[in-house]
Amino acid sequence: MDIREDILTPRERSKAFSEGKPMDRIICLPMVAISAAYLIGKTIKEFQLDPEVMAQSHIAAYKRFKYDSVGLSTNCSVLAEAMGAKLDYPEDDAANCIEPLVKSREDLSKVKDIDPEKDGNLWVFYKAFKIVNEEIGQEVPISISVSGPVTTAATLRGTEAFARDMYADPELCHELLRKSTDNIKRHIKTIVAHGADIGAIADPIASASVISPKMFKQFAFPYIKELVDYIHSFNSGAALHICGKSEKILELMVETGADTISVDKVDLKVVKEVVAGRAAIVGNVDTTDEMLHGPVEKIQEVCKRYIDLMRDYKGLYILSTGCDISPKAPFEYVQAMMDVARSYGLYEYN
């Protein structure tokens, strides 16, 4: 494989795209998140709770792979945590909620309106951003990703209870979603105030692997759309990431108005047809089948196939993984993706 060194920095590359000028290669974004801790010999728990560790992990990962954007994200419960949920932080995995905060309607009063700078661990992102930005921000865009409304509400209530409420007590769902969405907006506003880019709204529990498309339309769509509109009010592009099988909600994902659609376990050919140039597409090398089990040759073959498939796409296509890369995945697989971008994904550039 003939690997060419990058000619442009990620910032220059993305600027070239937005100005309709030539780029040196395809934009490539393997979603390296918590696993970056291992590059500097730290635990994932430290990564999630210590801004210095989060920052140095991302700086090390970026310097090694030189991918196109640094996305600060940890676990999907950080917003719920700031709102009052208690999380468990294992040494080597993403934190999760041990006990729902809202066990009954009466508990709704326990859900607070957050001060993002003080409540929970959102401050870790703001502080880490500052460190990362000072070190590599000239070269690469840095964003803080945002947990979605359904994921946040379901974490507060417990996923099973929340799914039951969708039928039995939809009003309670909407009250939790309202509070969650308002708090997510407070977080977004603070992200902007710190000068970071707003990363993707990541709403794994809104996935069609978890709730039906009908429920997505009723409970996820209005709130996600409200967040997309809110992000647009800062003159920023909005990205929406939904994990798992999102084929049946793709059309609704586009209708939220998100500028970028990031997909997980969906046939990319279908995504291309449904999105049809209305948004940028990010995806979707499988984080288990390929990025966890490899081997390198298979990852390269899939990446090449995706590049070929998306060559005539009427919008931006970003070669990426379907979701955050598992902490158990070998880093050589990340390198394998980047190598394809720097060989098979080259554009003519003088």
Using the minimum distance from each CB to Zn ion, give the nearer residue, 23 or 261: 261
- Minimum distance from residue 202 beta carbon to Zn ion (Å): 6
What the block records as the tokens of 234 is: 């800062």
8 A C-beta contact, residue 258 and residue 286: no
Minimal distance, residue 264 CB to Zn ion, in Å? 5
Q: What stretch of H or E contains 172?
A: helix 170-193
State how far the Cα of 111 lies from the Cα of 98, in Å rounded to an integer.
Answer: 16
Residue 26 or 323 having the CB closest to Zn ion: 323
CB of 200 to Zn ion, least distance (A): 9
What is the smallest separation between the CB atom of 240 and Zn ion, expressed in angstroms? 11
State how far the Cα of 314 lies from the Cα of 281, in Å rounded to an integer: 10
CA count, 13 A, side-chain hemisphere, 247: 8
Nearest to 179 by CA among 145, 158, 149, 157: 149
* Shortest distance in whole angstroms from residue 146 CB to Zn ion: 13
Who's near 91: CB < 8 A, 6+ residues apart? 43, 44, 45
Helix H, strand E, coil C: the string for 281-321 is: EEEEECCCCCCCCCCHHHHHHHHHHHHHHHCCCCCCEEEEE
**In whole angstroms, how close is the CB of 88 to Zn ion at the nearest point?**
20
Of the two residues 78 and 323, which places its CB atom closer to Zn ion in the complex? 323
Nearer to Zn ion, 59 or 252 (CB): 252
| Residues that bind Zn ion in the complex, under the rule CB under 5 A | 243, 323
In the complex with Zn ion, which residue's Cβ is closer, 135 or 286? 286
Instruction: Confirm if 172 and 226 have CB atoms less than 8 A apart.
Output: no
CA distances from 287 to 45, 63, 230, 243, 278 (A): 21, 22, 30, 11, 26
Smallest distance, Zn ion to C-beta of residue 227, A: 17
State which residue, 185 or 245, has the beta carbon closest to Zn ion.
245
The radius of gyration of the chain from alpha carbons, rounded to an integer in Å, stands at: 19
Instruction: Give whichever of 220 and 243 is closer to Zn ion, judged by the CB atom.
Output: 243
Nearest approach, Cβ of residue 114 and Zn ion (Å): 23
Nearer CB in complex with Zn ion: 56/320 = 320
State in angstroms the smallest separation of the CB of 204 from Zn ion. 5
Rounded to whole angstroms, how far apart are CA atoms 345 and 96? 37
Cα separation, 56 vs 136, in Å, equals 11
Q: Which is nearer to Zn ion, 56 or 287 (CB)?
A: 287
CA distance 131 to 54: 9
- What does the DSSP assignment read for 93-104? S--EEEE-S-SS
